[in-house]
Chains A and B, each alone.
Chain A
Amino acid sequence: GAVVSQHPSWVICKSGTSVKIECRSLDFQATTMFWYRQFPKQSLMLMATSNEGSKATYEQGVEKDKFLINHASLTLSTLTVTSAHPEDSSFYICSARDRGAGARSNQPQHFGDGTRLSIL
């Protein structure tokens, strides 16, 4: 089945550091990937939709200059949390859908294992 790999799985760093998280589709091509954030005991909240070869689409309230998204190839999207602060500490998860399944087909999104980000 479709596999999505996310790296790193855990990051601890000082306030002010920028952190890059990678999301890769291992056995399929994904023109679209999604980035979510999950706070403790809360559900997943969509942050942005990453589009291969074009600009990401951000959800309301998500700062695009703070959360930089790059989707340079059909198998890789990156999320960079710039100048991270303690309030950015959260669980970040990406997902992707198999492009080969067709834009309107009902294939589920598959999730990476997530990145736990802790800012000191």
Chain B
Amino acid sequence: EDKVVQSPLSLVVHEGDTVTLNCSYEVTNFRSLLWYKQEKKAPTFLFMLTSSGIEKKSGRLSSILDKKELFSILNITATQTGDSAVYLCAVLRGSEKLVFGKGTKLTVNP
């Protein structure tokens, strides 16, 4: 059975801290791994990772994939209160189906 496991499930930090969110997976017919940010409504796309070892970066966020060890991390540096959200990791299978993890709820306190 396909599995996407995120850790930690919940994280509380202070503004300015750096956080690392983890995602491990066991999925058949892997195509890509995606990170989404979900605030009150639907998820917004952050990154899509297909190749191992290539870091993707967008401002204070960065992510990398390890296809040998079957995991990915999402880093957020110099966190701000606006980063508070649930971060979802999802794996895209060959059938175009997305399998989601349960998410990491990040709370950034001022």
Chain A residues near B41 (CB, 8 Å)? 9, 113-114
Q: Are A108 and B34 in contact (CB-based, < 8 A)? A: yes
Kindly name the residue among B42, B99, B102 whose own CB sees the greatest number of chain A CB atoms within 10 A. B42
Instruction: Tell me the minimal C-beta distance from A114 to chain B in angstroms.
Output: 4
* Partner among B48, B100, B102 whose Cβ is within 8 Å of the Cβ of A108: B48
Instruction: Tell me the minimal C-beta distance from A41 to chain B in angstroms.
Output: 8
**Interface residue? A12 (CB, 8 A):** no
**A22-79 CB contacts (< 8 Å) to partner B:** 32, 34, 42-46, 49
Task: Count A/B pairs, Cβ under 8 Å.
Answer: 48
Chain B residues near A95 (CB, 8 Å)? 98
**Interface residue? B20 (CB, 8 A):** no
A116: nearest residue on chain B (CB-CB)? B41
Q: Are B96 and A44 in contact (CB-based, < 8 A)? A: no
Count of A interface residues, CB-CB < 8 Å: 21
Chain B residues near A108 (CB, 8 Å)? 34, 45, 48
Q: Are A106 and B44 in contact (CB-based, < 8 A)? A: no
**Interface residue? B68 (CB, 8 A):** no
* Partner among A9, A45, A49, A111 whose Cβ is within 8 Å of the Cβ of B43: A111
Interface string of B88-104 (1 = CB under 8 A from A): 10101000111111110
22 sampled A-B residue pairs with Cβ under 8 A: A32-B96, A34-B97, A42-B102, A43-B101, A44-B88, A44-B90, A44-B100, A46-B99, A49-B96, A49-B97, A106-B50, A108-B48, A109-B34, A109-B45, A109-B98, A110-B45, A111-B36, A112-B42, A113-B41, A113-B42, A114-B41, A114-B42
Query: A-contacting residues of B (Cβ < 8 Å)?
Result: 31-32, 34, 36, 41-45, 48, 50, 88, 90, 92, 96-103
- Contacts A9-B41, A109-B34 aside, 10 further interface pairs with beta carbons under 8 A come to A42-B102, A43-B101, A44-B100, A45-B100, A46-B98, A49-B96, A95-B98, A108-B48, A111-B42, A113-B41
